[in-house]
């Protein structure tokens, strides 16, 4: 699933490419648009809307539209937005230009927006889990889902004291880092990378962490997320940049999906994995002792 670095990369690029553009038309073969209640209602409300701003909140992409509307896209497991031009060929959307947009992972297009400059914004989503909703701005900002989101880990207000304050009294640190109500935007990839950087075992309970260990996790969180954004996200699986190309963080991953490899710290440990609440955690048993 695209996490904070991938979503932030997408938002930054979209701001350069489609800000002040207007939606002319929309197509979908998906039934996942549940707000408004029907696609026809969604289509009628979004046509003619100008994109005034684009922001990220947690893992959500937010298009601030004229008419006090917000188009929310959560890419979920396999979704990613693409910008280009497509034609229907044998019943399938195909890029009109040769290149990265022709890669197989970019061919599962289930939502298409036409923009007023002739370009098209597409959502490729193999599993069809992506969430697309159109909200009144005030309604979204006051919704329970948004109010329950934790602080942004790269925000200026996210200090070490705030970090300690939002942590629950108990809980496995790997699960806590992925809890969107505690800290917004961190998922499976970066929780693994952060804990390796901080030398903390993913099963260690919050209540057992020292002040120094908490500070190491806090610093590692900012370091890893900033590095991943600089490298334009992780494309080990489905995520791609809006031009269809891969990000670069997968080239420098230390533990995520590296089970069986020697620890990059050269401490003799081999990366292992275990299950925590249905999710897989990757760690080095030597430098991340429980």
Residues labelled catalytic: 2-3, 59, 279
Give start and end residues of each alpha helix (H) in 19-143. 39-46, 137-141
Q: Quick check: 82 and 242 in contact, CB under 8 A? A: yes
Q: What is the side-by-side order of every strand in the sheet holding 69-74?
A: 51-57, 60-65, 69-74, 131-136
Structural contact between residues 172 and 203, judged by C-beta atoms closer than 8 angstroms = yes
Whole-angstrom distance, CA of residue 104 vs CA of residue 85: 16
Task: With beta carbons less than 8 A apart as the criterion, state whether 100 and 9 touch.
Answer: no
Alpha carbon distance 100, 190 (integer Å): 26
Question: 279: which strand partners?
Answer: 276
Tokens of 239: 């995520």
Four-residue CA torsion sign, 76, 78, 83, 86: negative
Written as six digits, the tokens of 5 are 């670095």
Q: How many CA atoms lie within 13 A of 100 on its CB side?
A: 12
Query: In this structure, is the dihedral angle defined by the CA atoms of residues 205, 207, 180 and 277, taken in order, positive or negative?
Result: positive
Phi-psi domain of 107 (left: phi exceeds 0; alpha: psi -120 through 50; beta: other):
alpha
CA angle (79, 237, 250) in 5-degree steps: 125
CA distance 144 to 72: 15
């Amino acid at each position: 699933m695209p996490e904070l670095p991938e979503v932030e990369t997408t938002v930054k690029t979209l701001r350069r490419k489609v800000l002040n553009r207007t939606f002319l038309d929309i197509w979908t073969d998906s039934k996942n648009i549940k707000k408004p209640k029907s696609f026809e209602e969604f289509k009628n409300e979004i046509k003619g809307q100008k994109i005034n701003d684009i922001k990220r909140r947690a893992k959500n992409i937010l298009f601030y539209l004229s008419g006090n509307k917000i188009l929310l896209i959560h890419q979920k497991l396999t979704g990613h937005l693409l910008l280009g031009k497509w034609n229907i060929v044998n019943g399938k959307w195909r890029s009109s230009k040769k290149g990265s947009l022709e890669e197989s992972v970019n061919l599962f297009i289930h939502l298409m927006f036409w923009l007023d400059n002739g370009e098209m914004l597409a959502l490729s989503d193999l599993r069809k889990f992506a969430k697309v909703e159109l909200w009144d701005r005030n309604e979204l900002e006051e919704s329970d889902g948004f109010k329950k989101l934790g602080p942004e880990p790269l925000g200026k207000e996210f200090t070490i004291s705030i970090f300690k304050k939002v942590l629950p009294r108990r809980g496995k640190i790997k699960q806590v880092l992925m809890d969107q109500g505690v800290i917004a935007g961190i998922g499976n990839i970066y929780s693994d990378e952060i804990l390796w950087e901080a030398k903390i075992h993913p099963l260690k309970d919050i209540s057992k962490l020292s002040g120094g260990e908490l500070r190491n996790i806090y610093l590692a969180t900012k370091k890893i997320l900033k590095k991943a954004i600089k490298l334009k996200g992780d494309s080990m699986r489905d995520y791609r940049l809006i031009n269809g190309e891969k990000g670069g963080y997968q080239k420098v991953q230390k533990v995520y999906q590296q089970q069986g490899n020697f620890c990059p710290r050269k401490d003799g440990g081999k990366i292992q994995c275990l299950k925590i609440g249905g999710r897989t955690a990757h760690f080095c048993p030597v430098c991340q002792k429980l």
